[in-house]
Amino acid sequence: MFLEQTYHIEELIKRCKAGERKAQELLYRQFASKMLGVCFRYATDKMEAEDMLQNGFIKVFQKLPDYRGEGSFEGWIRRIMVHSSIEYYRKHHKMMQVVDIEEAGNESSVNPLATAKLAAEDLLALIRQLSPGYRIVFNLYAIEGYSHKEIAALAGITEGASKSQLSRARSILREQVIKLEGKKYGYAG
């Protein structure tokens, strides 16, 4: 009997590369919930996130022979999910193009004590409320750690547009955090 705890991730990968369906199912079950969270950051709703997840895992299994065991396997899957989600989004939605700006700077900072009080779920909910272009750029830059050059290539926009969208997303999030904190703690705003 093929039990999940019988195999380490390396053995599971080896069995997946050999085309064993049960191993693929186990690998999927091991990473699906975490990767759904990644996809959800780029999706408009849960159903779309699930579609992105399915497309992403198809690519994971297609590209698995190329995985050389260097670095984190979860990180490798995450990168595929991000790329697959952006590809899905670009195919099914129009990306919002923002006019380039010279520099996306001069931003005032949010009170660190206010953001410390903000629950992670609240922040993720605020990010999901951003328009798609802002949300994608914000996620790629602030959460996934991509550079503006990489974002521009992935999203099909210029580096200046990436900087502009990030700046605007931060500004919108800052305003929303202040409003949310004001409501939570009875401040005017």
pLDDT digits (tens, 9 = 90+) for 19-60: 999 999 999 999 999 999 999 999 888 999 999 999 999 999
Q: Which residue has the tokens 């700006």?
A: 101
In angstroms, how far apart are the furthest CA atoms of the chain? 62
State pTM to two decimals. 0.71
| Burial group, residue 160, by CB count within 10 angstroms (0-12, 13-18, 19+) | middle
How far apart are alpha carbons 183 and 59 in whole angstroms? 43
d(CA 115, CA 182): 12
Q: Tell me how far apart the terminal alpha carbons of the chain are, to the nearest angstrom.
A: 61
pLDDT of residue 159: 94
Look up residue 175 and give its DSSP letter.
H
Q: State the Cα–Cα distance between residues 33 and 134, nearest whole angstrom.
A: 24
- List the pLDDT tens digit at each of the 189 positions of the chain: 344 445 689 999 999 999 999 999 999 999 999 999 999 999 888 999 999 999 999 999 999 999 988 889 999 999 999 999 999 988 887 654 443 444 334 444 444 444 445 567 778 888 988 988 899 999 999 989 999 999 999 888 999 999 999 999 999 999 988 887 777 655 554
Q: How confident is the prediction for the chain on average, in pLDDT?
A: 82
What is the Cα–Cα distance from 46 to 56, expressed in whole angstroms?
15
Type of residue at 91: K
What CA–CA distance (Å, rounded) separates 34 from 60?
Answer: 14
Give Cα separations from 123 to 18, 115, 117, 153 (angstroms). Answer: 41, 9, 11, 27
What integer pLDDT is reported at residue 47 of this predicted model? 94
Write down the number of H helices and E strands in the chain.
Answer: 9, 0
